[in-house]
Amino acid sequence: MHESFARYAEALYIEDHYGYGNSQRYLHRMKAMVANKEPVIGPRDINYIHHGNMDMYEKGALMLNTLRHVINNDSTWFAILRGIQDEFRLQTIDTDDLVRYVNRCTGTDYTSFFDQYLRQAAIPALELAFEERDGKSCMLYRWAAAAHDFAMPVKLKLGDEWTLLHPTTEWQRIGYPALPQDVPEVNTDQYYVEVRVVSPAG
């Protein structure tokens, strides 16, 4: 995790000196460097870095950027970043210590979020399906994720408006103006996720 924060700090430097938009573009370019072939957290008690998995840098930074936007409160987010230094200085900690700290500071359980990004190889995939029922168009959505009870909000553009959806791993349904020719735009700059269209049957 410390490597994730180190790489993410580069984006924060850019944000401070050159603006939020430039920092997000800097993070977006990291996606091409992520393999997503092995979990960031490997088996215990072996020197896992020598297995050739370097995703803890870029994937870790993208995960933290995603968490920032999931929390959706920069005052809380930057208080967490500063608070980590005070809470854990002169200590050796592990990922579970950090997750408990984030959960305590936010009052929300992000355990499944960290489990998906760190203990699974794949990033969460937002599955979308479209159907007409009783003459009405609707969109179905869910997360395809291996972490237990994974749930995470994500922004998706419906028409001209950004809408905050709250998908879980169970199908949910929302009215849609018309069956689209293209996949609705998902905010994959702020959220490091995959998007795929599937059949309504899943």
| pLDDT tens sequence across 90-115 | 999 999 999 999 999 999 999 999 99
Average of per-residue pLDDT across 41-45: 76
How much of the chain exceeds pLDDT 70, in percent?
Answer: 94
With beta carbons less than 8 A apart as the criterion, state whether 135 and 167 touch.
no
Residues 26, 47 within the same domain: yes
Range of the domain at 184: 125-197
C-alpha 12/C-alpha 181 separation (Å) is 37
Q: Are strands 172-175 and 136-144 parallel, antiparallel or unpaired?
A: antiparallel
pLDDT of res. 48? 58
In terms of domains, do 24 and 114 share one?
Answer: yes
Give pTM, 2 decimals.
0.92
pLDDT computed for residue 49 by the predictor: 60
Give the separation between CA 14 and CA 168, rounded to whole angstroms.
33
Is residue 116 a contact partner of residue 125, using CB atoms and an 8 Å limit? no
Distance CA 78, CA 12 (A): 10
Q: Are residues 64 and 151 in the same domain?
A: no
Q: Find the mean pLDDT for residues 145-169.
A: 93
Answer for the pair 200, 140: CB distance below 8 angstroms, yes or no: yes
- Of 119, 148, 180, at which residue does a domain stop? 119
Same domain, 62 and 145: no
